[in-house]
Amino acid sequence: ITPETISMLIELANDINLKKRIDGLFSGEQINKSEQRQALHTALRFGGNAEKLKPVFQQVEDGLERISVFIDD
C-alpha cells in the first residue's frame, strides 16, 4: 500500500461518511434496511454503557438460546 493508496482510501471514507455509518452501527441505529432492524452482531462485542442497548441484548440472548436449543436437538 502506497501513501497515495492510503490517501485515496481516506478520501473515499470521507466521501461516504464512513465515521457516521460506523457510529450508527455501534449506537443501535437501524442499518439493516431489508429486515428493518439493527445489526445485532455489534451488540455481542459492545463494551460501553449498555442501558440504551438493553432491548438489543435481549434479542441477542434470545437468538443465542434458540441456537443452543437447535444444536442440542
Q: Among positive and negative, which fits the CA dihedral 11, 12, 14, 15?
A: positive
Indicate yes or no: pTM above 0.85: no
Output the CA–CA distances (angstroms, integers) from residue 24 to 18, 19, 21, 69, in the order listed: 10, 9, 5, 32
**Whether residue 8 has pLDDT greater than 80:** yes
27 has pLDDT over 80: no
Digit-coded pLDDT (tens) for 29-66: 777 677 776 666 666 566 566 676 677 777 778 888 88
Single-letter amino acid code for the residue at 48: G
The one-letter code for the residue type at 36 is Q
